[in-house]
Structure 1
Amino acid sequence: MDRMFRVLGFWTLVIGLMALAGDMIPMAMLFFAQTAIFVLLGYLRLSERTYILLFWGYMILSFTGFTYWSFFKMSV
């Protein structure tokens, strides 16, 4: 399970680099921060249950944030 967080770190790095190439600096910085967190978690050697709980927490937080931003902050 720890390798999966390193894979997530790789993909967030790829997305961050593409955002940086497209001049979307705030998005790139957000994904670079996620990359650092995922890679760090990937090397902590936590239990599988802890990794699953962390992933669910991440999913709830990110989907809640995305929904809030798209509903309240984006202009129509």
Structure 2
Amino acid sequence: MARMFRVLGFFTLAIGLMAFAGDLVEMALLFFLQTAFFVILGYLKFTERTYILLFWGYMIVTFTGFSYWTVFQMDLPL
């Protein structure tokens, strides 16, 4: 399970580099922070249950933040 967090770190790094190449600096920094988070978690020796709980917590925070941003912060055409 720890290896999966390193894989997530790799993919977030790839997305961050593509965002940086596209001049989306804020998005790139967000994904670089996620990369560091996932890689650090990948090298810690947690139990599988801990990794699953951490992933669920990450998903809840991410989807809540994304939903808040899209509903309350973006100018949506009506």
TM-score by length of structure 1 reads 0.99
Aligned equivalents of 1:75 and 1:4: distance in 2? Answer: 36
Q: What are the superposed Cα offsets for residues 9-46 of structure 1, whole Å, 9 maximum, x if unpaired?
A: 00000000000000000000000000000000000010
Which one has the largest radius of gyration?
Answer: 2
Superposed structure 1 runs of 4+ greater than 3 Å apart:
none
Which 5+ residue runs of structure 2 have no aligned equivalent?
A: none
Q: How many residues align?
A: 76
Q: Please tell me the root mean square deviation across aligned C-alpha atoms, in Å.
A: 0.3
TM-score by length of structure 2 reads 0.96
Aligned equivalents of 1:59 and 1:37: distance in 2? Answer: 13
Q: % of aligned pairs identical? A: 71
